[in-house]
Amino acid sequence: MNILTGRQIERRTFLRGMGATVALPLLDAMVPAGRLRGANEADPTRLVAIEMVHGAAGSNEWGATQNLWAPAEVGSNFDLTPSSLLPLDEWRDYLTIISNTDVRMAEAFEPHEIGGDHFRSSAVFLTQSHPKQTESSDVYVGTSLDQIYANRFGQGTPIPSMQLCIENVDQAGGCAYGYSCVYTDSISWSSPTEPLPMIRDPRVAFDLLFGAGGTPEERARRRRTSSSILDWITSDIARMRRTLGPGDYARLDRYLDNVREIERRIQAVEAQNTSGEERALPGAPAGVPDSFTEHMRLMFDLQALAFASDMTRVFSFKTGRDASSRVYPESGTDTPFHPASHHGGREAAILDFAVINKFYVSMLPYFLEKLKDIDEGGTDLLEKTMIVFGSPMADGNVHNHRRAPLIALGHANGKLKGNMHVRAPDGTPMANAMLSMLHVLGHDDIESFGDSTGELPLTMPTAVAPDGQGA
Protein backbone atom coordinates (compact mmCIF):
# COMPACT_ATOMS: atom_id res chain seq x y z
CA MET A 1 0.00 0.00 0.00
CA ASN A 2 1.33 3.45 -0.88
CA ILE A 3 -0.16 6.40 1.02
CA LEU A 4 1.16 9.91 0.58
CA THR A 5 0.14 12.65 3.00
CA GLY A 6 -2.06 15.24 1.31
CA ARG A 7 -3.06 12.89 -1.51
CA GLN A 8 -6.47 11.41 -2.06
CA ILE A 9 -6.71 7.81 -0.84
CA GLU A 10 -8.28 5.28 -3.18
CA ARG A 11 -11.73 4.09 -2.12
CA ARG A 12 -10.63 0.52 -2.56
CA THR A 13 -7.80 0.67 0.00
CA PHE A 14 -6.73 -2.32 2.10
CA LEU A 15 -4.56 -2.79 5.14
CA ARG A 16 -2.48 -5.92 4.65
CA GLY A 17 -0.09 -8.17 6.53
CA MET A 18 0.65 -11.89 7.08
CA GLY A 19 -2.35 -13.03 5.06
CA ALA A 20 -4.83 -10.56 6.60
CA THR A 21 -6.60 -8.12 4.29
CA VAL A 22 -8.84 -5.50 5.85
CA ALA A 23 -10.77 -3.14 3.57
CA LEU A 24 -11.39 0.38 4.87
CA PRO A 25 -14.67 2.26 5.33
CA LEU A 26 -15.37 5.41 3.34
CA LEU A 27 -13.18 8.24 4.67
CA ASP A 28 -13.08 11.95 3.87
CA ALA A 29 -9.56 11.41 2.53
CA MET A 30 -11.03 9.19 -0.18
CA VAL A 31 -13.21 11.99 -1.57
CA PRO A 32 -11.63 14.23 -4.24
CA ALA A 33 -10.93 17.79 -3.14
CA GLY A 34 -13.86 20.13 -3.70
CA ARG A 35 -16.45 17.37 -3.80
CA LEU A 36 -18.88 16.72 -0.98
CA ARG A 37 -18.63 13.27 0.53
CA GLY A 38 -20.78 10.95 -1.52
CA ALA A 39 -21.89 13.64 -4.01
CA ASN A 40 -22.19 12.70 -7.69
CA GLU A 41 -20.80 9.23 -7.06
CA ALA A 42 -22.38 5.97 -8.11
CA ASP A 43 -23.76 4.58 -4.90
CA PRO A 44 -25.84 1.46 -5.50
CA THR A 45 -28.35 0.43 -2.88
CA ARG A 46 -27.22 -2.32 -0.52
CA LEU A 47 -29.51 -5.34 -0.62
CA VAL A 48 -30.23 -7.94 2.06
CA ALA A 49 -32.80 -10.66 1.35
CA ILE A 50 -33.85 -12.65 4.43
CA GLU A 51 -36.04 -15.74 4.42
CA MET A 52 -38.22 -16.53 7.44
CA VAL A 53 -39.23 -20.11 6.74
CA HIS A 54 -42.60 -21.84 6.98
CA GLY A 55 -44.95 -18.89 7.06
CA ALA A 56 -46.60 -16.93 9.84
CA ALA A 57 -49.50 -17.27 12.24
CA GLY A 58 -51.07 -14.20 10.64
CA SER A 59 -51.34 -16.03 7.32
CA ASN A 60 -53.76 -18.52 8.83
CA GLU A 61 -57.41 -17.64 8.12
CA TRP A 62 -58.19 -16.96 11.80
CA GLY A 63 -54.78 -15.37 12.40
CA ALA A 64 -55.44 -12.92 9.57
CA THR A 65 -58.67 -11.77 11.26
CA GLN A 66 -56.62 -11.09 14.40
CA ASN A 67 -54.00 -9.14 12.43
CA LEU A 68 -51.23 -11.38 13.72
CA TRP A 69 -48.99 -10.34 10.83
CA ALA A 70 -50.35 -7.48 8.74
CA PRO A 71 -52.18 -4.63 10.49
CA ALA A 72 -55.82 -3.88 9.80
CA GLU A 73 -55.15 -0.42 8.39
CA VAL A 74 -53.51 0.33 5.05
CA GLY A 75 -51.46 3.45 4.44
CA SER A 76 -49.44 5.09 7.19
CA ASN A 77 -51.74 5.10 10.23
CA PHE A 78 -51.51 1.43 11.07
CA ASP A 79 -51.44 -0.20 14.49
CA LEU A 80 -48.86 -2.96 14.99
CA THR A 81 -49.96 -3.82 18.53
CA PRO A 82 -51.53 -7.23 17.78
CA SER A 83 -48.99 -8.06 15.09
CA SER A 84 -45.77 -10.07 15.13
CA LEU A 85 -44.28 -6.94 13.51
CA LEU A 86 -44.64 -4.98 16.75
CA PRO A 87 -40.86 -5.03 17.45
CA LEU A 88 -40.50 -2.81 14.37
CA ASP A 89 -42.88 -0.11 15.61
CA GLU A 90 -40.01 2.21 16.56
CA TRP A 91 -38.63 1.69 13.05
CA ARG A 92 -41.89 2.21 11.18
CA ASP A 93 -40.42 5.13 9.23
CA TYR A 94 -38.26 2.52 7.50
CA LEU A 95 -40.96 -0.17 7.27
CA THR A 96 -42.96 -1.10 4.18
CA ILE A 97 -45.48 -3.90 4.76
CA ILE A 98 -46.66 -5.76 1.65
CA SER A 99 -49.60 -8.00 2.52
CA ASN A 100 -51.94 -10.40 0.74
CA THR A 101 -49.56 -11.66 -1.96
CA ASP A 102 -49.37 -15.28 -3.09
CA VAL A 103 -46.43 -17.55 -3.90
CA ARG A 104 -48.18 -19.96 -6.27
CA MET A 105 -44.90 -21.15 -7.78
CA ALA A 106 -44.28 -23.03 -4.52
CA GLU A 107 -47.51 -25.01 -4.90
CA ALA A 108 -47.79 -28.49 -6.39
CA PHE A 109 -48.45 -28.33 -10.13
CA GLU A 110 -48.81 -32.09 -10.67
CA PRO A 111 -50.19 -34.86 -8.43
CA HIS A 112 -46.71 -36.34 -7.92
CA GLU A 113 -45.53 -32.99 -6.48
CA ILE A 114 -48.09 -32.99 -3.67
CA GLY A 115 -46.44 -33.04 -0.27
CA GLY A 116 -43.15 -31.50 -1.43
CA ASP A 117 -43.77 -27.95 -0.19
CA HIS A 118 -40.96 -28.13 2.39
CA PHE A 119 -38.51 -29.00 -0.36
CA ARG A 120 -39.68 -26.46 -2.97
CA SER A 121 -40.41 -23.34 -0.97
CA SER A 122 -36.98 -21.91 -0.19
CA ALA A 123 -35.90 -22.17 -3.83
CA VAL A 124 -39.02 -20.24 -4.82
CA PHE A 125 -38.66 -17.36 -2.34
CA LEU A 126 -36.27 -15.15 -4.36
CA THR A 127 -36.84 -16.72 -7.78
CA GLN A 128 -40.66 -16.82 -7.78
CA SER A 129 -40.27 -19.74 -10.16
CA HIS A 130 -41.46 -23.34 -9.92
CA PRO A 131 -38.65 -25.87 -9.27
CA LYS A 132 -38.20 -28.88 -11.48
CA GLN A 133 -38.90 -32.02 -9.47
CA THR A 134 -35.64 -33.98 -9.46
CA GLU A 135 -33.28 -35.63 -7.00
CA SER A 136 -30.36 -35.50 -9.44
CA SER A 137 -28.05 -32.72 -10.56
CA ASP A 138 -30.42 -31.49 -13.28
CA VAL A 139 -32.04 -28.96 -10.94
CA TYR A 140 -33.86 -26.01 -12.46
CA VAL A 141 -35.78 -23.11 -10.94
CA GLY A 142 -34.85 -19.51 -11.80
CA THR A 143 -32.31 -16.75 -11.18
CA SER A 144 -32.91 -15.18 -7.78
CA LEU A 145 -33.57 -11.50 -7.15
CA ASP A 146 -30.35 -11.03 -5.18
CA GLN A 147 -28.27 -12.50 -8.01
CA ILE A 148 -29.99 -10.44 -10.69
CA TYR A 149 -28.95 -7.42 -8.65
CA ALA A 150 -25.44 -8.71 -7.92
CA ASN A 151 -24.81 -9.45 -11.59
CA ARG A 152 -25.33 -5.80 -12.48
CA PHE A 153 -24.43 -3.81 -9.36
CA GLY A 154 -22.20 -6.13 -7.35
CA GLN A 155 -19.36 -6.72 -9.77
CA GLY A 156 -17.39 -3.67 -8.62
CA THR A 157 -16.83 -5.10 -5.15
CA PRO A 158 -14.31 -7.78 -4.12
CA ILE A 159 -17.18 -10.18 -3.30
CA PRO A 160 -20.18 -9.72 -5.63
CA SER A 161 -22.53 -11.33 -3.09
CA MET A 162 -22.54 -13.45 0.04
CA GLN A 163 -24.99 -16.10 1.19
CA LEU A 164 -25.48 -16.78 4.91
CA CYS A 165 -27.66 -19.17 6.90
CA ILE A 166 -28.41 -20.21 10.48
CA GLU A 167 -29.43 -23.87 10.20
CA ASN A 168 -27.41 -26.77 8.80
CA VAL A 169 -27.81 -26.78 5.00
CA ASP A 170 -24.99 -29.05 3.88
CA GLN A 171 -27.09 -32.03 2.85
CA ALA A 172 -26.55 -33.69 -0.50
CA GLY A 173 -28.62 -35.75 -2.91
CA GLY A 174 -32.35 -36.17 -2.56
CA CYS A 175 -34.38 -34.99 0.41
CA ALA A 176 -38.00 -36.17 -0.01
CA TYR A 177 -40.93 -36.19 -2.42
CA GLY A 178 -38.52 -36.40 -5.35
CA TYR A 179 -36.70 -33.09 -4.69
CA SER A 180 -32.97 -32.47 -4.49
CA CYS A 181 -31.81 -31.05 -1.17
CA VAL A 182 -30.30 -28.02 -2.91
CA TYR A 183 -33.83 -26.65 -3.37
CA THR A 184 -34.34 -26.36 0.38
CA ASP A 185 -30.67 -25.62 1.16
CA SER A 186 -30.33 -22.35 -0.76
CA ILE A 187 -32.40 -19.27 -1.52
CA SER A 188 -29.79 -17.80 -3.87
CA TRP A 189 -29.50 -18.97 -7.48
CA SER A 190 -26.96 -17.42 -9.87
CA SER A 191 -28.82 -19.07 -12.76
CA PRO A 192 -31.77 -21.47 -13.00
CA THR A 193 -29.33 -24.39 -12.67
CA GLU A 194 -26.79 -22.96 -10.19
CA PRO A 195 -27.70 -22.75 -6.49
CA LEU A 196 -25.14 -20.91 -4.39
CA PRO A 197 -23.80 -22.46 -1.17
CA MET A 198 -24.64 -20.70 2.07
CA ILE A 199 -22.26 -20.01 4.95
CA ARG A 200 -23.41 -21.03 8.41
CA ASP A 201 -20.21 -20.48 10.39
CA PRO A 202 -19.48 -16.83 11.35
CA ARG A 203 -15.77 -17.71 11.39
CA VAL A 204 -15.87 -18.72 7.74
CA ALA A 205 -17.69 -15.50 6.81
CA PHE A 206 -15.22 -13.42 8.86
CA ASP A 207 -12.20 -15.03 7.21
CA LEU A 208 -13.73 -14.54 3.78
CA LEU A 209 -14.34 -10.85 4.43
CA PHE A 210 -11.00 -10.11 6.07
CA GLY A 211 -8.65 -12.63 4.47
CA ALA A 212 -7.53 -13.85 7.87
CA GLY A 213 -4.51 -16.04 7.20
CA GLY A 214 -3.08 -17.36 3.97
CA THR A 215 -3.53 -21.07 4.74
CA PRO A 216 -5.76 -23.18 7.02
CA GLU A 217 -2.68 -23.96 9.08
CA GLU A 218 -1.92 -20.27 9.60
CA ARG A 219 -5.50 -19.60 10.62
CA ALA A 220 -5.53 -22.51 13.05
CA ARG A 221 -2.23 -21.39 14.58
CA ARG A 222 -3.48 -17.85 15.06
CA ARG A 223 -6.70 -19.03 16.71
CA ARG A 224 -4.74 -21.11 19.21
CA THR A 225 -2.95 -17.95 20.35
CA SER A 226 -6.15 -15.83 20.41
CA SER A 227 -4.29 -13.16 18.47
CA SER A 228 -6.19 -10.74 16.26
CA ILE A 229 -5.92 -10.12 12.54
CA LEU A 230 -5.33 -6.50 13.54
CA ASP A 231 -2.05 -7.61 15.14
CA TRP A 232 -0.91 -8.62 11.68
CA ILE A 233 -1.48 -5.18 10.16
CA THR A 234 -0.27 -2.87 12.96
CA SER A 235 2.37 -1.19 10.80
CA ASP A 236 -0.13 -0.42 8.05
CA ILE A 237 -2.61 0.90 10.63
CA ALA A 238 0.06 3.19 12.10
CA ARG A 239 1.02 4.54 8.66
CA MET A 240 -2.60 5.10 7.75
CA ARG A 241 -3.35 7.01 10.95
CA ARG A 242 -0.52 9.47 10.28
CA THR A 243 -2.20 10.54 7.03
CA LEU A 244 -5.69 11.17 8.40
CA GLY A 245 -7.48 14.16 9.86
CA PRO A 246 -9.22 13.92 13.26
CA GLY A 247 -12.59 12.89 11.84
CA ASP A 248 -11.17 10.12 9.67
CA TYR A 249 -8.85 9.02 12.49
CA ALA A 250 -11.82 8.51 14.79
CA ARG A 251 -13.87 6.85 12.03
CA LEU A 252 -11.05 4.39 11.28
CA ASP A 253 -10.55 3.55 14.96
CA ARG A 254 -14.26 2.97 15.46
CA TYR A 255 -14.36 0.65 12.45
CA LEU A 256 -11.28 -1.32 13.58
CA ASP A 257 -12.74 -1.59 17.07
CA ASN A 258 -15.87 -3.14 15.54
CA VAL A 259 -13.77 -5.61 13.55
CA ARG A 260 -11.89 -6.62 16.67
CA GLU A 261 -15.08 -6.91 18.76
CA ILE A 262 -16.70 -9.28 16.25
CA GLU A 263 -13.50 -11.31 16.06
CA ARG A 264 -13.34 -11.49 19.87
CA ARG A 265 -16.94 -12.74 20.06
CA ILE A 266 -16.26 -15.43 17.46
CA GLN A 267 -13.19 -16.50 19.43
CA ALA A 268 -15.27 -16.70 22.61
CA VAL A 269 -17.87 -18.89 20.85
CA GLU A 270 -15.15 -21.19 19.54
CA ALA A 271 -13.54 -21.46 22.98
CA GLN A 272 -16.87 -22.34 24.57
CA ASN A 273 -17.75 -24.88 21.90
CA THR A 274 -14.39 -26.66 22.12
CA SER A 275 -14.31 -26.73 25.93
CA GLY A 276 -15.81 -30.21 26.12
CA GLU A 277 -19.11 -29.04 27.60
CA GLU A 278 -22.27 -30.50 26.13
CA ARG A 279 -23.62 -28.40 23.29
CA ALA A 280 -27.22 -27.50 22.47
CA LEU A 281 -26.30 -27.95 18.79
CA PRO A 282 -24.26 -31.18 18.66
CA GLY A 283 -22.19 -31.44 15.52
CA ALA A 284 -22.37 -27.75 14.62
CA PRO A 285 -19.07 -26.06 13.66
CA ALA A 286 -17.14 -24.56 16.58
CA GLY A 287 -17.79 -21.04 15.31
CA VAL A 288 -21.58 -21.47 15.37
CA PRO A 289 -23.15 -20.18 18.61
CA ASP A 290 -25.67 -22.43 20.33
CA SER A 291 -27.70 -19.27 20.98
CA PHE A 292 -29.94 -18.33 18.04
CA THR A 293 -29.86 -14.67 19.11
CA GLU A 294 -26.07 -14.52 19.24
CA HIS A 295 -25.79 -16.31 15.90
CA MET A 296 -28.18 -13.87 14.24
CA ARG A 297 -26.41 -10.87 15.73
CA LEU A 298 -22.98 -12.06 14.62
CA MET A 299 -24.28 -12.54 11.09
CA PHE A 300 -25.87 -9.08 11.12
CA ASP A 301 -22.65 -7.53 12.44
CA LEU A 302 -20.69 -9.15 9.63
CA GLN A 303 -23.14 -7.82 7.05
CA ALA A 304 -22.94 -4.30 8.47
CA LEU A 305 -19.13 -4.36 8.41
CA ALA A 306 -19.11 -5.75 4.87
CA PHE A 307 -21.32 -2.85 3.75
CA ALA A 308 -19.18 -0.31 5.60
CA SER A 309 -16.02 -1.57 3.90
CA ASP A 310 -17.79 -2.07 0.56
CA MET A 311 -16.53 -5.66 0.39
CA THR A 312 -19.96 -6.61 -0.92
CA ARG A 313 -23.32 -4.90 -1.40
CA VAL A 314 -25.52 -8.00 -1.61
CA PHE A 315 -26.47 -10.60 1.00
CA SER A 316 -29.01 -13.39 1.12
CA PHE A 317 -29.74 -14.80 4.56
CA LYS A 318 -31.68 -17.98 5.30
CA THR A 319 -32.71 -18.06 8.97
CA GLY A 320 -33.99 -21.63 9.28
CA ARG A 321 -35.31 -24.82 7.75
CA ASP A 322 -39.00 -25.60 7.31
CA ALA A 323 -38.88 -28.84 9.26
CA SER A 324 -36.61 -27.63 12.07
CA SER A 325 -37.68 -28.61 15.57
CA ARG A 326 -35.45 -26.03 17.20
CA VAL A 327 -36.66 -24.48 20.45
CA TYR A 328 -36.10 -20.78 21.15
CA PRO A 329 -35.97 -20.33 24.95
CA GLU A 330 -35.60 -16.55 24.55
CA SER A 331 -38.86 -16.28 22.60
CA GLY A 332 -41.32 -16.88 25.42
CA THR A 333 -42.45 -20.34 24.30
CA ASP A 334 -40.79 -23.73 24.53
CA THR A 335 -42.78 -25.22 21.64
CA PRO A 336 -40.41 -26.48 18.90
CA PHE A 337 -40.61 -24.47 15.68
CA HIS A 338 -42.08 -26.99 13.23
CA PRO A 339 -44.67 -28.44 15.62
CA ALA A 340 -45.66 -24.86 16.48
CA SER A 341 -46.25 -24.08 12.81
CA HIS A 342 -48.57 -27.11 12.58
CA HIS A 343 -50.99 -25.59 15.05
CA GLY A 344 -54.01 -27.51 13.81
CA GLY A 345 -56.04 -24.31 13.52
CA ARG A 346 -56.41 -24.11 17.31
CA GLU A 347 -56.49 -20.48 18.39
CA ALA A 348 -54.20 -20.92 21.40
CA ALA A 349 -51.67 -22.80 19.27
CA ILE A 350 -51.84 -20.16 16.52
CA LEU A 351 -51.05 -17.49 19.11
CA ASP A 352 -48.15 -19.63 20.32
CA PHE A 353 -46.70 -19.74 16.79
CA ALA A 354 -47.15 -15.96 16.57
CA VAL A 355 -44.79 -15.70 19.56
CA ILE A 356 -42.06 -17.40 17.52
CA ASN A 357 -42.79 -15.17 14.51
CA LYS A 358 -42.49 -12.11 16.73
CA PHE A 359 -39.21 -13.42 18.13
CA TYR A 360 -37.78 -13.70 14.60
CA VAL A 361 -38.90 -10.16 13.80
CA SER A 362 -37.35 -8.94 17.07
CA MET A 363 -33.92 -9.82 15.63
CA LEU A 364 -34.23 -7.11 12.97
CA PRO A 365 -33.97 -3.90 15.07
CA TYR A 366 -30.43 -4.92 16.09
CA PHE A 367 -29.41 -4.91 12.42
CA LEU A 368 -31.27 -1.69 11.69
CA GLU A 369 -29.47 0.03 14.55
CA LYS A 370 -26.09 -1.18 13.25
CA LEU A 371 -26.77 0.21 9.78
CA LYS A 372 -28.17 3.44 11.22
CA ASP A 373 -24.95 3.99 13.19
CA ILE A 374 -22.68 3.73 10.14
CA ASP A 375 -22.10 7.09 8.49
CA GLU A 376 -21.14 7.02 4.82
CA GLY A 377 -20.93 10.20 2.86
CA GLY A 378 -22.98 12.12 5.43
CA THR A 379 -25.81 9.56 5.22
CA ASP A 380 -26.31 6.48 7.35
CA LEU A 381 -26.30 3.08 5.68
CA LEU A 382 -29.91 2.33 6.59
CA GLU A 383 -30.89 5.09 4.18
CA LYS A 384 -28.89 3.32 1.48
CA THR A 385 -30.17 -0.22 2.12
CA MET A 386 -33.18 -2.30 1.20
CA ILE A 387 -33.88 -5.34 3.39
CA VAL A 388 -36.40 -7.86 2.07
CA PHE A 389 -37.85 -10.09 4.81
CA GLY A 390 -40.51 -12.68 4.17
CA SER A 391 -41.52 -16.27 3.56
CA PRO A 392 -42.61 -18.28 0.51
CA MET A 393 -44.92 -20.24 2.83
CA ALA A 394 -48.06 -18.64 4.26
CA ASP A 395 -50.05 -20.91 6.58
CA GLY A 396 -47.52 -23.59 7.47
CA ASN A 397 -50.19 -25.68 9.14
CA VAL A 398 -51.72 -26.64 5.80
CA HIS A 399 -48.74 -25.76 3.57
CA ASN A 400 -50.67 -22.90 2.02
CA HIS A 401 -48.88 -20.21 -0.02
CA ARG A 402 -51.61 -17.53 -0.08
CA ARG A 403 -51.26 -14.34 2.05
CA ALA A 404 -47.53 -14.96 2.45
CA PRO A 405 -45.68 -12.58 4.80
CA LEU A 406 -43.45 -9.93 3.20
CA ILE A 407 -41.94 -6.63 4.34
CA ALA A 408 -39.18 -4.29 3.21
CA LEU A 409 -36.98 -2.17 5.48
CA GLY A 410 -34.73 0.79 4.75
CA HIS A 411 -35.11 3.70 2.35
CA ALA A 412 -33.17 2.21 -0.60
CA ASN A 413 -31.41 5.48 -1.43
CA GLY A 414 -34.68 7.41 -1.21
CA LYS A 415 -36.69 4.98 -3.36
CA LEU A 416 -38.76 3.56 -0.47
CA LYS A 417 -40.89 5.91 1.61
CA GLY A 418 -41.37 3.73 4.67
CA ASN A 419 -44.22 3.93 7.21
CA MET A 420 -46.46 2.25 4.67
CA HIS A 421 -48.78 -0.75 4.52
CA VAL A 422 -49.66 -1.84 0.99
CA ARG A 423 -52.38 -4.48 0.78
CA ALA A 424 -52.45 -6.24 -2.60
CA PRO A 425 -55.67 -7.24 -4.34
CA ASP A 426 -56.62 -10.89 -3.85
CA GLY A 427 -54.67 -13.21 -6.12
CA THR A 428 -51.67 -10.89 -6.57
CA PRO A 429 -48.39 -12.80 -7.00
CA MET A 430 -45.58 -11.93 -4.60
CA ALA A 431 -43.54 -11.71 -7.80
CA ASN A 432 -45.32 -8.41 -8.55
CA ALA A 433 -43.88 -6.91 -5.37
CA MET A 434 -40.45 -8.29 -6.20
CA LEU A 435 -40.64 -6.88 -9.71
CA SER A 436 -41.26 -3.48 -8.13
CA MET A 437 -38.31 -4.10 -5.79
CA LEU A 438 -36.08 -4.77 -8.79
CA HIS A 439 -37.20 -1.46 -10.26
CA VAL A 440 -36.44 0.26 -6.95
CA LEU A 441 -32.98 -1.30 -7.19
CA GLY A 442 -32.39 0.20 -10.62
CA HIS A 443 -33.51 -2.59 -12.97
CA ASP A 444 -35.99 -0.43 -14.86
CA ASP A 445 -35.53 -2.52 -17.99
CA ILE A 446 -36.87 -5.72 -16.41
CA GLU A 447 -40.51 -6.15 -17.42
CA SER A 448 -41.32 -9.40 -15.62
CA PHE A 449 -40.04 -11.58 -12.82
CA GLY A 450 -41.14 -15.12 -12.01
CA ASP A 451 -44.92 -15.34 -12.41
CA SER A 452 -45.46 -11.59 -12.14
CA THR A 453 -48.45 -10.02 -13.86
CA GLY A 454 -47.31 -6.44 -13.43
CA GLU A 455 -45.91 -4.10 -10.79
CA LEU A 456 -47.25 -3.74 -7.26
CA PRO A 457 -46.56 -0.11 -6.24
CA LEU A 458 -44.80 0.00 -2.89
CA THR A 459 -45.75 3.56 -1.94
CA MET A 460 -49.54 3.33 -2.27
CA PRO A 461 -51.81 2.26 0.60
CA THR A 462 -53.99 0.13 -1.68
CA ALA A 463 -52.60 -1.49 -4.79
CA VAL A 464 -54.11 -1.20 -8.22
CA ALA A 465 -55.43 -4.48 -9.61
CA PRO A 466 -53.80 -5.83 -12.77
CA ASP A 467 -56.82 -4.82 -14.90
CA GLY A 468 -56.49 -1.24 -13.76
CA GLN A 469 -59.43 -1.37 -11.36
CA GLY A 470 -59.05 -0.54 -7.70
CA ALA A 471 -58.54 -3.25 -5.13
Taking residue 277's Cβ as centre, other Cβ atoms within 10 Å add up to 8
Per-residue model confidence as pLDDT tens for the chain (471 residues): 334 344 578 877 888 876 678 888 888 888 776 455 444 346 899 999 999 999 999 999 999 999 999 999 999 999 999 999 999 999 999 999 999 999 999 999 999 999 999 999 999 999 999 999 999 999 999 999 999 999 999 998 999 999 999 998 766 556 889 999 999 999 999 999 999 999 999 999 999 998 765 566 666 666 666 678 887 788 888 888 888 888 888 888 998 899 999 999 999 999 999 999 999 999 899 999 999 999 999 999 999 999 999 999 999 999 999 989 999 999 999 999 999 999 999 999 999 999 999 999 999 999 999 999 999 888 999 999 999 999 999 999 999 999 999 999 999 999 999 999 999 999 999 999 999 999 999 999 999 999 999 999 998 765 444 444 333
The Cα 297–Cα 326 span in angstroms is 18
| Residue of 408, 340, 323, 430 lying closest to 107 (CA atoms) | 430
**Could you tell me whether strands 189-191 and 194-195 are parallel, antiparallel, or unpaired per DSSP bridges?**
antiparallel
What pTM did the predictor assign? 0.92
Which positions ≥6 away from 93 have C-beta within 8 Å?
A: 418, 419
Letter for the amino acid at 444?
A: D
Q: Supply angle C-alpha 333, 335, 338, rounded to 5.
A: 130
Instruction: For domain 49-200+292-466, give its CATH number from 3.30.300.30, 3.40.720.10, 3.40.50.1220, 3.90.1150.10.
Output: 3.40.720.10
**CA 126 – CA 44 distance, rounded (Å):** 20
Query: What are the residues whose beta carbons fall under 8 Å from the beta carbon of 409, sequence distance 6 or more?
Result: 88, 91, 94, 95, 96, 364, 368, 385, 386, 387, 389
Burial of 28 (0-12, 13-18, 19+ CB in 10 A): middle
Domain ranges within the chain, ordered by starting residue: 49-200+292-466, 211-287
Q: Among 323, 371, 369, 284, which residue's Cα sits nearest to residue 25?
A: 371
Reading phi first (left if > 0) and then psi (alpha if -120 to 50, else beta), residue 105 is in alpha
Where b means 16+ CB within 10 Å and e means fewer, 370-395 reads bbbebbbbebebbbbbbbbbbbbbbb
Residue type, 28: D
Q: What is the C-alpha to C-alpha distance for residues 138 and 153, in angstroms, rounded to an integer?
A: 29
